Every structure is written in structure tokens, then in C-alpha cells.
């Protein structure tokens, strides 16, 4: 009985000589880098000051400025992801379609966005396109002149009304960029479905909607979940480049605090840590979802 | 006949009233909204965040007073310096009050008001690398690295004064000074009083090679080209506040004293 139990248990890992050598080498390398940065960089670290700065609430008692930046980034990421998923799926399906009217514009858009630097795209989009688009939709009056303060859930979701225009531009930028990559993921997912599945759905006389909804989509979804998760994580990180067009998210807030206080490295390390926590949290979440999705495949 | 007369009269009155309404058109927009939207960028001590994350600084005082005098509320739009002129042109705000120096290049894309402050440009040098340097010509060499804030007026001054030196450009002043402290650049060029203040903080590492400031900058508000009515309105305000000494008194407080230092975190 006891023999069977030990067999089933995972073998405990034991360190061998190579492991010890590697650990010693890593510790030495870290120590050397720390030593070099301590003598090579003339910088007075002031962690207490930085921590104090980050956790000091605003004058009106609301969340500290740094955390407002984190919340902005979250808001930007959530809306950006939602929008990018919808647009990306549509683009991916269009690119996979056989009708040129759908296929050509989708392909053109994807190739354009994927082959210019995101920074250039954002600058052009923000200053030329979004500037024309928002007044055209009549949103500028609504966004600028909405004066009631929100509270509760709507506030958590949308933030302060005078920043709505700002938020919308940011969400559009991030989402339009990410949609091009998501479209490619969706397309590769669609192409990965065996021809037999399409033919079988067709042979059963399913309507296009039923075919996609009950035959194709479930298979595609479980296949593309890992690359989609990667895309979502990179969207959170990429949202930092919209700080350049003054969307007040984590990176922008970080720049402002670092410049005002002179605690450059401390603040930037905190900004890095915040992104790390956000993205690690997301990857954990996705790995749980992935496991659940694949349950039916494990016997 | 009567109809024609009325029509003519109507046309005439439109013709007369049009230029009159057009001339304060841009100003009316602000009046209608009741809020002045001001574009600015973090830049000690022009505009910065205090410990609580609120905006303080010389520009902030100026913009608040301007709005209070004109019966408006004020809304600050913090903007990355690299994109501040495009953002103005894209109507993200009404005016740049951001310590922007008047230059010929900028005057091609924005309309400057009369200057409201005159800051100088000063150099802080590394004591080891730039040992014994005391003339402008000492720095004008291919071997010399000079750090400056990108897109700023100081870069232009550095290019003109030290044409042979290598100019290293950084996103903000803090990084530019750090580069000199680290011994990667011989000197940093920045708007006064930052170099003077940094030299006091790092006596053992930095010094001021020149006693006189390099150049006198003229900072002004910037509006979009063609918005003459706004310019005229701001010009009048600047003139009034210059005459009664308010501008120089505020300038004195932010630039010549460090009384405000305890409001921001003590870095470095």
C-alpha cells in the first residue's frame, strides 16, 4: 500500500551540484550589478520619501494620485480589451471570408496597423482622426459639458466626466492597435479548423449563424485562448504609450510625480512594479480560465 | 420697393455686424463655457505636483489668477511636452501656459502673447569632467557632452553656443541632471534657477562655470494662429499684472526662493 502511495506522489526535487553552482553564480551576478549601480550611479535613494509620496491621499481625501493612475490604466485596459475583442473578431472573420468586399479592407487595415510603429499610429490617430471623429459623432458637447458628478459603479467604470473625451481617445487608440493583432489570432484560429468540420456543418444544413455558433466558435475559442491571453497582457503594457498623448494613466502619472519630486528611479520602479502586478494577475487569471476551458479534452 | 429696402438694410446690418462678432469669436467660446482650459506640462518650478498630487507652481498661479480676474473657472490639461503644440492646434485646450519661450520656429505654428516672464538659461557642470572650464570655448569641443531637455528652448541655445559639442537630449530635466551627476555628460543646460538649485544640493559634484546667464528667454502664452482676440485679451491682462508687480512678485517666490520646497517631496 505504501509503495503505491510513494509511486503516485510527485518525486521531490533534490538539488545537485550544478544547481548549487548556478545559484551561486546568479547571486554573484546580482551582487555585482548592485555594486556597480551603487558606485557608478550617483543617486541618493529615498525609498521612504517615495512610499510616502505614493500613499498620500489627495487634498479632498480621495485616492492618492498614483492609484488614480493605476485605476485609469485598468479602465483603459478593460474598455480597450472589450472593444478590441469585438473589432478584432469581426476583422478576423472578414479576413477569413471569401468575399473580396470584406476581405480586402480588413487585410489592408491589419497590414497597415501591424507594419507601422504604434507610436506613429497613435500620434496620427489622436491628432487627426479622433479630432475629426469625435465632433462628427456629436460626442464633444456631450463629453465636455456633462457636468453631473458620477458616483458608485458608473464612476468606477468611466471616471470623471471632464476626462471622458481623453478616456475615449485612449481607448480607441489602444483598441484599434490591438484589434489588428487579435484579428490575426482569430484568423489563424479559423484556419486551424479542419475542412471536415465546415463540410459537416454544411452537410447538416446549418445556417451560417448556427454553423459558427455551435460548430466553429467553440473549437476556435479553446484553440486561441492562449494567444488571446498574451494579447490582453500586452495591451495592458502597451497602454503606457498613450501617455504620450496625455491620457492620464499610470505612466503619465509616474512621469509627473517623478519630475516633480526628483525621486526618479524610485517612482519608475514603483510604476514597473504596478505593471508587473497587473500583468501577473492577468496571466494567473487566464491560466485558470484556460484550464477550465480544456477540461473536456482531459480524460 | 419697400421689400428691397428692407433686404438691403438687412444685408448691410449683417455686413456691419459680422466683423464685430468675428473679432471676439474665440473669446466668446471661453465665456460661453465659463471655463478656461489651460495646457501645461510638469516642469519644476513652473508647474509640478505637490505631495498630495495637486498642481502647484508659477504657471498654476498665473493661470488661476488669469481665470479669476476674467470670471472663469480654470481647468488644467496636463500634457506631454512633446505633444503640447499639436494638442493646442487640435483644440484640446484654449491656451498653453507652460513656460514656453518664444522662438521663431514655434511662432510659425502658434501665436505668442507678449512675454509674461523672463527666465535665463544657465549651465551646471561636472566638477571632475569639466575641471577648470570657465570659458564658453572650453565646452565647445567634440569631446564634450552636454545634456538638455528634449524639445526645449535650451537645446537651441546649446547648439548655438556650443556648435561642436555633442548634445544629449532627455525627456525631462531630472534625467539630464542625473546624466551629469553620473559623469556621463560634462554639463547640463537648463532654465534658471534649476542649475543654481542643483549646484547647491550637489556642491561636491557640480559647479557653475559661468557667472552670467547664457541667454534671456521670453516666456509667453501661446494660442492658435489667427486668434487675435484672445491674444489681445491676454496681452492686456499681462500688461496689467506686470504694471502692478504681481507677476514679478510671484516669479520671485517660485524662482528666487525655496519657500515652496516643503510642499513637494524632498527628492535627491
Does B175 have pLDDT greater than 50?
yes
Report the residue of A173, A261, A266 to disrupt the B interface, i.e. the one with the largest count of B CBs within 10 Å.
Answer: A261
pLDDT at B120: 79
Classify residue B101 by its DSSP letter. B
Banded model confidence at residue B1, pLDDT cuts 50, 70, 90: low
Q: Where are the domains of chain B?
A: 28-118+218-257, 120-216
pLDDT at B266: 59
- Yes or no: say if A258 and A267 are a contact pair by the CB < 8 Å rule: yes
Please tell me which of the candidates B91, B182, B266 has its beta carbon nearest to residue A49: B266
B97 versus A131: the higher-pLDDT residue is B97
Banded model confidence at residue B21, pLDDT cuts 50, 70, 90: very low
**Integer Cα distance of A84 and A110 in angstroms:** 13
pLDDT at A11: 65
Quick one: average pLDDT of A254-273?
A: 89
Cβ within 8 Å, pair A123-B83? yes
Q: Give the long-range contacts of residues A15-21, CB within 8 A, separation 24 or more.
A: none
Q: What φ, ψ does residue B53 adopt, rounded to 5°?
A: 85, 10
Question: Coil, strand or helix: which one is B96?
Answer: strand
Does A218 have pLDDT greater than 70?
yes
Name chain A contacts of B58, Cβ cutoff 8 Å: none
Cβ within 8 Å, pair A264-B265? no
pLDDT at A117: 92
Quick one: average pLDDT of B174-193?
A: 88
Q: Which architecture, in CATH terms, is A50-298?
A: Orthogonal Bundle (1.10)
The complex scores an ipTM of: 0.74
Record the pTM. Answer: 0.78
- What percent of chain B lies above the pLDDT cut of 70? 90
Task: Specify the DSSP element, H or E, that contains B166.
Answer: strand B166-170
Q: Is B147 on the interface with A (CB under 8 A)?
A: no
Does A83 have pLDDT greater than 90?
yes
CA distances from B181 to A248, B124, B186, B227 (A): 30, 10, 9, 44
Cβ within 8 Å, pair B265-A50? yes
Cβ within 8 Å, pair A259-B53? no
pLDDT at B5: 67
Quick one: average pLDDT of B150-158?
A: 81
Does B268 have pLDDT greater than 50?
no
Q: Is B203 on the interface with A (CB under 8 A)?
A: no
Name chain B contacts of A56, Cβ cutoff 8 Å: 51-53
Quick one: average pLDDT of A36-58?
A: 82
Q: Which of A142-151, B66-75, B148-157, B253-262 has the lowest mean pLDDT?
A: A142-151
Does A140 have pLDDT greater than 70?
no
Quick one: average pLDDT of B100-109?
A: 90
Torsion of CA A106, A112, A118, A122, to 10 degrees: -80
Quick one: average pLDDT of A80-99?
A: 93
**Integer Cα distance of A206 and A211 in angstroms:** 6
**How distant is the Cα of A173 from the closest Cα of chain B, in angstroms?**
16
Please tell me which of the candidates B78, B83, B178 has its beta carbon nearest to residue A256: B78
Banded model confidence at residue B101, pLDDT cuts 50, 70, 90: confident
Name chain A contacts of B33, Cβ cutoff 8 Å: 144-145
**Integer Cα distance of B42 and A253 in angstroms:** 10
Cβ within 8 Å, pair B90-A127? yes
Does B65 have pLDDT greater than 90?
yes
CA distances from B245 to A114, B64, B238, B249 (A): 56, 16, 10, 6
Does A98 have pLDDT greater than 80?
yes
Q: Is B197 on the interface with A (CB under 8 A)?
A: no
pLDDT in tens, B208-224: 888 877 777 788 999 99
Cβ within 8 Å, pair B265-A49? yes
Burial class of residue B132 (count of CB atoms within 10 Å of its CB; 0-12, 13-18, 19+) = exposed
A→B contacts (Cβ < 8 Å), by residue, are 40-44, 46, 49-50, 52-53, 56-59, 64-66, 68, 123, 126-127, 131, 144-145, 162, 243-246, 248, 252, 255-264
Banded model confidence at residue B125, pLDDT cuts 50, 70, 90: very high
Indicate the fold that domain B28-118+218-257 takes in CATH: D-Maltodextrin-Binding Protein; domain 2 (3.40.190)
Classify residue B130 by its DSSP letter. T
pLDDT at A113: 93
Name chain B contacts of A248, Cβ cutoff 8 Å: 78
- Angle at Cα B58 formed by Cα B55 and Cα B60, nearest 5°? 40
Report the residue of A58, A59, A260 to disrupt the B interface, i.e. the one with the largest count of B CBs within 10 Å.
Answer: A260
Q: Which of A291-295, B3-7, B25-29, B95-99 has the lowest mean pLDDT?
A: B3-7
**Integer Cα distance of A95 and A107 in angstroms:** 6
Quick one: average pLDDT of B52-74?
A: 92
Q: Is B75 on the interface with A (CB under 8 A)?
A: yes
A299 versus B101: the higher-pLDDT residue is B101
Report the residue of A122, A162, A259 to disrupt the B interface, i.e. the one with the largest count of B CBs within 10 Å.
Answer: A259
Cβ within 8 Å, pair B181-A264? no
Instruction: Answer whether B28-118+218-257 and B120-216 agree in fold.
Output: yes
Mean pLDDT, rounded, of chain B? 85
Does B15 have pLDDT greater than 50?
yes
**How distant is the Cα of B175 from the closest Cα of chain A, in angstroms?**
8
Banded model confidence at residue B20, pLDDT cuts 50, 70, 90: very low
Cβ within 8 Å, pair B268-A262? yes
Cβ within 8 Å, pair B80-A255? yes
Cβ within 8 Å, pair B82-A264? no
Name chain A contacts of B265, Cβ cutoff 8 Å: 49-50, 52-53, 260-263
pLDDT at B13: 56
**How distant is the Cα of A217 from the closest Cα of chain B, in angstroms?**
42
Quick one: average pLDDT of B6-12?
A: 60
CA distances from A36 to A141, A266, B132, B217 (A): 55, 18, 28, 40
Cβ within 8 Å, pair A162-B75? yes
Q: Where are the domains of chain A?
A: 2-43, 50-298
Q: Which of A252-266, B33-47, B167-181, B202-216 has the lowest mean pLDDT?
A: B202-216
Q: Which of A74-83, B20-29, B214-223 holds the top average pLDDT?
A: A74-83
Banded model confidence at residue B19, pLDDT cuts 50, 70, 90: very low
Does A227 have pLDDT greater than 60?
yes
**How distant is the Cα of B40 from the closest Cα of chain A, in angstroms?**
11
Q: What φ, ψ does residue A163 adopt, rounded to 5°?
A: -105, 5
- Yes or no: say if A187 and A228 are a contact pair by the CB < 8 Å rule: no
CA distances from A218 to A156, A184, B17 (A): 32, 18, 67
Indicate the fold that domain B120-216 takes in CATH: D-Maltodextrin-Binding Protein; domain 2 (3.40.190)
**Integer Cα distance of A168 and A137 in angstroms:** 12
Does A130 have pLDDT greater than 80?
no
Nearest CA in chain A to B201: A44
Cβ within 8 Å, pair B43-A40? no
Cβ within 8 Å, pair B49-A243? no
**How distant is the Cα of B8 from the closest Cα of chain A, in angstroms?**
36
pLDDT at A2: 47
Name chain A contacts of B51, Cβ cutoff 8 Å: 52-53, 56
Radius of gyration of chain A (CA): 25
**How distant is the Cα of A41 from the closest Cα of chain B, in angstroms?**
5
pLDDT at A22: 94
Banded model confidence at residue A143, pLDDT cuts 50, 70, 90: low
Quick one: average pLDDT of A156-160?
A: 76
Give the number of beta-carbon pairs within 8 Å between A and B.
109
Amino acid at each position: 500500500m505504501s509503495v503505491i502511495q510513494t509511486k503516485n506522489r510527485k518525486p521531490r526535487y533534490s538539488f545537485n551540484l550544478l544547481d548549487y553552482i548556478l545559484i551561486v553564480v546568479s547571486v554573484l551576478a546580482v551582487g555585482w550589478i548592485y555594486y556597480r549601480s551603487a558606485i557608478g550611479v550617483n543617486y541618493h535613494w529615498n525609498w521612504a520619501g517615495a512610499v510616502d509620496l505614493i500613499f498620500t491621499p489627495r487634498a479632498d481625501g480621495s485616492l492618492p494620485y498614483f492609484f488614480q493612475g493605476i485605476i485609469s490604466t485598468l479602465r483603459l485596459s478593460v474598455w480597450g480589451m472589450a472593444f478590441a475583442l469585438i473589432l478584432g473578431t469581426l476583422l478576423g472573420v472578414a479576413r477569413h471570408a471569401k468575399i473580396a468586399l470584406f476581405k480586402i479592407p480588413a487585410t489592408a487595415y491589419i497590414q497597415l496597423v501591424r507594419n507601422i510603429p504604434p507610436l506613429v499610429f497613435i500620434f496620427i490617430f489622436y491628432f487627426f482622426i479622433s479630432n475629426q471623429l469625435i465632433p462628427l459623432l456629436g460626442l464633444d458637447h456631450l463629453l465636455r459639458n456633462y457636468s453631473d458628478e458620477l458616483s458608485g459603479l458608473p464612476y468606477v467604470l468611466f471616471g470623471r466626466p471632464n476626462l471622458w473625451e481623453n478616456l475615449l481617445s485612449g481607448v480607441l487608440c489602444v483598441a484599434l492597435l490591438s484589434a489588428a493583432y487579435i484579428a490575426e489570432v482569430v484568423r489563424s484560429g479559423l484556419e486551424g479548423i479542419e475542412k471536415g468540420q465546415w463540410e459537416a456543418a454544411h452537410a447538416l444544413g446549418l445556417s451560417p449563424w448556427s454553423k459558427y455558433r455551435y460548430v466553429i466558435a467553440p473549437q476556435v475559442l479553446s484553440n486561441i485562448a492562449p494567444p488571446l491571453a498574451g494579447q490582453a497582457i500586452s495591451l495592458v503594457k502597451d497602454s503606457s504609450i498613450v501617455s504620450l498623448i496625455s491620457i492620464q494613466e499610470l505612466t503619465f502619472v509616474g512621469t509627473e510625480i517623478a519630475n516633480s519630486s526628483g525621486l526618479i528611479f524610485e517612482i519608475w520602479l514603483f510604476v514597473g512594479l504596478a505593471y508587473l502586478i497587473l500583468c501577473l494577475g492577468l496571466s494567473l487569471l487566464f491560466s485558470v480560465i484556460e484550464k477550465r476551458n480544456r477540461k473536456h479534452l482531459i480524460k | 420697393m419697400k421689400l428691397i429696402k428692407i433686404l438691403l438694410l438687412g444685408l448691410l446690418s449683417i455686413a456691419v455686424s459680422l466683423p464685430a462678432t468675428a473679432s471676439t469669436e474665440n473669446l466668446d467660446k471661453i465665456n460661453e463655457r465659463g471655463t478656461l482650459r489651460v495646457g501645461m506640462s510638469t516642469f519644476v518650478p513652473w508647474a509640478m505636483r505637490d505631495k498630495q498630487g495637486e498642481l502647484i507652481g508659477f504657471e498654476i498661479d498665473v493661470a488661476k489668477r488669469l481665470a479669476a480676474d476674467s470670471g472663469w473657472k480654470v481647468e488644467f490639461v496636463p500634457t506631454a511636452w512633446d505633444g503640447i503644440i499639436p494638442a493646442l492646434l487640435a483644440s484640446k485646450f484654449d491656451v498653453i501656459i507652460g513656460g514656453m519661450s518664444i522662438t521663431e520656429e514655434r511662432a510659425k505654428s502658434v501665436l505668442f502673447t507678449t512675454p509674461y516672464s523672463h527666465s535665463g538659461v544657465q549651465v551646471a557642470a561636472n566638477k571632475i569632467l569639466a575641471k577648470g572650464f570657465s570659458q564658453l570655448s572650453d565646452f565647445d569641443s567634440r569631446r564634450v557632452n552636454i545634456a538638455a531637455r528634449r524639445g526645449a528652448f535650451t537645446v537651441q541655445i546649446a547648439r548655438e553656443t556650443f556648435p561642436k559639442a555633442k548634445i544629449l537630449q532627455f525627456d525631462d530635466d531630472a534625467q539630464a541632471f542625473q546624466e551629469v551627476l553620473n559623469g556621463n555628460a560634462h554639463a547640463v543646460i537648463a532654465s534658471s534657477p534649476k542649475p543654481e538649485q542643483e549646484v547647491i544640493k550637489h556642491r561636491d559634484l557640480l559647479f557653475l562655470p559661468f557667472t552670467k546667464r547664457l541667454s534671456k528667454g521670453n516666456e509667453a502664452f501661446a494660442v492658435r494662429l489667427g486668434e487675435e482676440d484672445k491674444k489681445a485679451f491676454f496681452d492686456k491682462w499681462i500688461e496689467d499684472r506686470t504694471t502692478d508687480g504681481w507677476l514679478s512678485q510671484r516669479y520671485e517666490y517660485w524662482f528666487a526662493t525655496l519657500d515652496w520646497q516643503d510642499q513637494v517631496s524632498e527628492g535627491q
